[in-house]
Amino acid sequence: MKNFAELIRTLDSTTKTTLKVNALSEYFKEASDEDRVWTIAILSHRRPPRPVNTTLLRIWASELANIPLWLFEESYHIVGDLAETIALVVPTSNENSEKSLTQFLREMLALKKETDEFKKEYVTHNWRKLNYYERFVFTKLITGGFRIGVSQKLMTRALSKATDIDEDILAYKLMGKWDPNTISFEDLVLKESASDFLSKPYPFYLAYGIEGAVSDLGNVNDWSFEHKWDGIRSQVIIREDELFVWSRGEELVTDKYPEFHSFTAVIPNGTVLDGEILPFPDNEIGTFQDLQTRIGRKTISKALLAKTPVILKAYDILEWEGKDLRQQPFIKRRAILESLMKRLSGTELPIYLSETVSCDSWDEVASERDRAREMRSEGLMIKRKDSTYQVGRKKGDWWKWKTDPLTIDAVLTYAMRGHGRRSNLFTDYTFALWDDEEKLVTFAKAYSGLTDSEFKKVDSWIKRNTLERFGPVRSVTPELVFEIAFEGITESKRHKSGYATRFPRILRWRKDKKIAEANKLEDLKALMLT
Amino acid sequence: MHKPLLAFNENGIYCEVANVYLDPWKPVDFAIISHGHADHSRYGHKKYITHHTNVPIIKHRLGDINVSGRNYNETFTINNVKFSLHPAGHIIGSSQIRVEHRGEVWVFSGDYKLEDDGVAVPFEAVKCHSFITECTFGLPAFKWTPQKEVFSDINNWWETNREAKQTSVLFGYSLGKAQRLLKYLDTDIGKIYTHGAIENMTEVIRPMIDFPETTRITRETTKQELLGNIVLAPPSAHGSTWIRKMVPYVTASASGWMAFRGARRRRAVDRGFVLSDHCDWQELLTAVEATGAEKVICTHGYTEIFSKYLRTLGLDARTENTQYEGELNESDTKKESESVA
- pLDDT tens digit at each of 341 positions of chain B: 578 999 999 999 999 999 999 999 999 999 999 999 999 999 999 999 999 999 999 999 999 999 999 999 999 999 999 999 999 999 999 999 999 999 999 999 999 999 999 999 999 999 999 999 999 999 999 999 999 999 999 999 999 999 999 999 999 999 999 999 999 999 999 999 999 999 999 999 999 999 999 999 999 999 999 999 999 999 889 888 888 888 899 999 999 999 998 888 777 788 899 999 999 999 999 999 999 999 999 998 899 999 999 999 999 999 998 888 753 554 333 333 333 33
Three-class secondary structure assignment of chain B = CCCCCCEECCCCEEECCCCEEECCCCCCCEEECCCCCCCCCCCCCCEEEEEHHHHHHHHHHHCCCCEEEECECCCEEECCEEEEEEECCCCCCCEEEEEEECCEEEEECCCCCCCCCCCCCCCCCCCCCEEEEEECCCCCCCCCCCHHHHHHHHHHHHHHHHHCCCEEEEECCCCCHHHHHHHHCCCCCCCEEECHHHHHHHHHHCCCCCCCCCEECCCCCCHHHHCCCEEEECHHHCCCHHHHHHCCEEEEEECHHHHCHHHHHHHCCCEEECCCCCCCHHHHHHHHHHHCCCEEEEEEECHHHHHHHHHHCCCEEEECCCCCCCCCCCCCCCCCCCCCC
- Cα–Cα distance, A119 to A112 (Å, whole number): 8
- Residues in chain B whose beta carbon is closer than 8 A to a beta carbon of chain A? 139-143, 259-266, 268, 270-272, 302, 304-305, 308-309, 312, 327-329, 331-332, 334
Q: Please tell me the predicted confidence (pLDDT) of residue A357.
A: 94
- Can you list the positions of beta strands (E) in A269-404? 271-279, 310-320, 323-324, 351-353, 356-357, 377-384, 392-393, 398-402
Q: Between residues A443 and A168, which one has the greater pLDDT? A: A443
Domain membership flag for residue B340: no
Q: Please tell me the predicted confidence (pLDDT) of residue B318.
A: 95
Q: Please tell me the predicted confidence (pLDDT) of residue A80.
A: 85
B195 and B137 within one domain: no
* Residues, chain B: 341
CATH number of the domain to which B187 belongs: 3.40.50.10890
In this prediction, what percent of chain A has a pLDDT beyond 90?
59
CATH number of the domain to which B37 belongs: 3.60.15.10
Secondary structure class of A246 (helix, strand, coil): strand
Domain membership flag for residue B339: no
**Which of B260, B264, B269, B330 is most worth mutating to test chain A (most A CB atoms within 10 A of its CB)?**
B260
User: A165-169: which pairs have CB atoms within 8 A and are 24 or more residues apart?
Assistant: A165/A189, A165/A190, A167/A391, A168/A203, A168/A391
- Cα–Cα distance, A462 to A457 (Å, whole number): 9
1.10.3260.10, 1.10.10.10, 1.25.40.10, 1.10.150.110: which CATH number matches A2-143?
A: 1.10.3260.10
B121 and B73 within one domain: yes
- Cα–Cα distance, A270 to A194 (Å, whole number): 13
B134 and B16 within one domain: yes
Domain membership flag for residue B209: yes
B192 and B95 within one domain: no
B255 and B172 within one domain: yes
Tell me if B194 sits within 8 A of B256, measured CB to CB. Answer: no
- Cα–Cα distance, B172 to B190 (Å, whole number): 19
Mean pLDDT of A286-305: 82
CB contact under 8 A, A88 and B259: yes
Among A67, A108, A110, A107, which Cα is nearest to A85's?
A67
Among candidates A71, A421, A424 on the partner chain, residue whose Cβ is nearest the Cβ of B309: A71
Contacts (Cβ under 8 Å, ≥6 apart) of A110: none
CATH tag, A406-529: 2.40.50.140
Q: Between residues B48 and A288, which one has the greater pLDDT? A: B48
Residue A420: pLDDT band with limits 50, 70, 90: low
Mean pLDDT of A178-194: 86
B215-216 vs A392-393, strand pairing mode:
unpaired
CB contact under 8 A, A75 and B270: no
Tell me if B86 sits within 8 A of B109, measured CB to CB. Answer: no
Please tell me the number of Cα atoms within 13 Å of A142 on its side-chain side: 32
- Please check the confidence at residue A73 and state whether its pLDDT lies above 80: yes
**Which of A89, A94, A131 is most worth mutating to test chain B (most B CB atoms within 10 A of its CB)?**
A89
At residue A9, φ and ψ (nearest 5 deg) are: -60, -45
Averaged pLDDT score across all residues of chain A? 90
Contacts (Cβ under 8 Å, ≥6 apart) of A123: A52, A57, A60, A142
B183 and B129 within one domain: no
B134 and B12 within one domain: yes
Among candidates B266, B305, B334 on the partner chain, residue whose Cβ is nearest the Cβ of A71: B305
Q: Please tell me the predicted confidence (pLDDT) of residue A530.
A: 61
**Which of A71, A422, A469 is most worth mutating to test chain B (most B CB atoms within 10 A of its CB)?**
A71
Measured between beta carbons, the chain A residues lying within 8 angstroms of B270 are 13-16
Among candidates A88, A419, A463 on the partner chain, residue whose Cβ is nearest the Cβ of B327: A463
Q: Domain limits at B112? A: 7-142+277-319
B200 and B160 within one domain: yes
B204 and B192 within one domain: yes
Q: Please tell me the predicted confidence (pLDDT) of residue A417.
A: 84
- Can you list the positions of beta strands (E) in A176-299? 205-206, 208-209, 223-229, 232-239, 242-247, 271-279
Measured between beta carbons, the chain B residues lying within 8 angstroms of A428 are none
B226 and B151 within one domain: yes
Among A269, A85, A352, A43, which Cα is nearest to A170's?
A43
- Please check the confidence at residue A424 and state whether its pLDDT lies above 80: no
Alpha helices (H) along A248-324: 263-266, 288-296, 302-307
DSSP state of A190: I
Q: Name the closest residue on chain A to residue B143, using Cα atoms.
A: A88
Among candidates B140, B260, B268 on the partner chain, residue whose Cβ is nearest the Cβ of A65: B140
Among candidates B139, B260, B332 on the partner chain, residue whose Cβ is nearest the Cβ of A456: B332
Measured between beta carbons, the chain B residues lying within 8 angstroms of A89 are 140-141, 143
Measured between beta carbons, the chain B residues lying within 8 angstroms of A422 are 262, 266
Measured between beta carbons, the chain A residues lying within 8 angstroms of B268 are 15
**Which of A150, A424, A460, A463 is most worth mutating to test chain B (most B CB atoms within 10 A of its CB)?**
A424
Of A251-265, A475-489, B319-333, the range with the lowest mean pLDDT is B319-333
Question: How many C-beta atoms lie closer than 10 Å to residue A112's C-beta?
Answer: 12
Q: Please tell me the predicted confidence (pLDDT) of residue A491.
A: 85
Residue A28, sorted as left (phi over 0), alpha (psi -120 to 50) or beta, turns out to be alpha
Domain membership flag for residue B64: yes
Among candidates B260, B270, B305 on the partner chain, residue whose Cβ is nearest the Cβ of A423: B260
CA distance B1 to chain A (A): 30
Tell me if A411 sits within 8 A of A381, measured CB to CB. Answer: no
CB contact under 8 A, B270 and A13: yes
CB contact under 8 A, A89 and B140: yes
CA distance B263 to chain A (A): 7
Q: Please tell me the predicted confidence (pLDDT) of residue A381.
A: 97
CB contact under 8 A, B141 and A420: no
CA distance B77 to chain A (A): 36
Among A208, A165, A213, which Cα is nearest to A186's?
A165
CB contact under 8 A, A13 and B271: yes
B257 and B152 within one domain: yes
Among candidates A13, A72, A460 on the partner chain, residue whose Cβ is nearest the Cβ of B264: A13
Among candidates A14, A74, A149 on the partner chain, residue whose Cβ is nearest the Cβ of B270: A14
- Cα–Cα distance, B215 to B308 (Å, whole number): 48
Tell me if A380 sits within 8 A of A457, measured CB to CB. Answer: no
Q: Please tell me the predicted confidence (pLDDT) of residue A148.
A: 74
Cross-strand pairs, A380? A227, A401
Mean pLDDT of A371-389: 92
CB contact under 8 A, B260 and A84: yes
Please name the amino acid found at residue A417. Answer: R
CA distance B324 to chain A (A): 12
B167-201 confidence digits (pLDDT tens)? 999 999 999 999 999 999 999 999 999 999 999 99
Secondary structure class of A189 (helix, strand, coil): helix
Question: How many C-beta atoms lie closer than 10 Å to residue B300's C-beta?
Answer: 24
Residue A291: pLDDT band with limits 50, 70, 90: confident
- Residues in chain A whose beta carbon is closer than 8 A to a beta carbon of chain B? 12-16, 65, 67-68, 70-72, 74-75, 78-81, 84-85, 88-89, 92, 149, 419-425, 452-453, 456, 460, 463, 469
C-alpha gyration radius of chain A: 26
A89-122 confidence digits (pLDDT tens)? 999 877 767 899 999 999 999 999 999 999 999 9
Secondary structure class of A406 (helix, strand, coil): strand
Domain membership flag for residue B335: no
Measured between beta carbons, the chain B residues lying within 8 angstroms of A474 are none
CATH tag, A205-402: 3.30.470.30
Write the CA distances from A73 to A135, B88, B262, B329, integer angstroms.
19, 31, 17, 21
What ipTM score was computed for the predicted complex, to two decimals?
0.91
Question: How many C-beta atoms lie closer than 10 Å to residue A201's C-beta?
Answer: 24
**Which of A72, A79, A146 is most worth mutating to test chain B (most B CB atoms within 10 A of its CB)?**
A79
Cβ pairs bridging A and B (under 8 Å)? 77
Among candidates B261, B268, B309 on the partner chain, residue whose Cβ is nearest the Cβ of A84: B261
CB contact under 8 A, B142 and A92: no
B180 and B129 within one domain: no
Tell me if A510 sits within 8 A of A483, measured CB to CB. Answer: yes
CB contact under 8 A, B141 and A78: yes
Q: Name the closest residue on chain B to residue A460, using Cα atoms.
A: B328
Tell me if A453 sits within 8 A of A423, measured CB to CB. Answer: no
CB contact under 8 A, B139 and A453: no
Domain membership flag for residue B324: no
At residue A3, φ and ψ (nearest 5 deg) are: -65, -40
- Please check the confidence at residue A343 and state whether its pLDDT lies above 70: yes
- Please check the confidence at residue A150 and state whether its pLDDT lies above 80: yes
CB contact under 8 A, A71 and B141: no
Secondary structure class of A366 (helix, strand, coil): helix
Domain membership flag for residue B261: yes
> Which strand (E) or helix (H) includes residue A172?
helix A167-174
Q: Please tell me the predicted confidence (pLDDT) of residue A250.
A: 66
- Which is it for the CA torsion B47, B52, B54, B60, positive or negative? positive
Q: Name the closest residue on chain B to residue A457, using Cα atoms.
A: B332
CB contact under 8 A, B262 and A463: no
Domain ranges of chain A: 2-143, 205-402, 406-529
**Which of B142, B265, B304 is most worth mutating to test chain A (most A CB atoms within 10 A of its CB)?**
B265
Secondary structure class of A52 (helix, strand, coil): coil
- Please check the confidence at residue A196 and state whether its pLDDT lies above 90: no
Domains contained in chain B, number: 2
Tell me if B235 sits within 8 A of B175, measured CB to CB. Answer: no
Domain membership flag for residue B2: no
Q: Please tell me the predicted confidence (pLDDT) of residue B336.
A: 36
Buried b (16+ CB within 10 A) or exposed e, B171-205: bbbbbbbbbbbbbbbbeebbbbbbbebbbebbebb
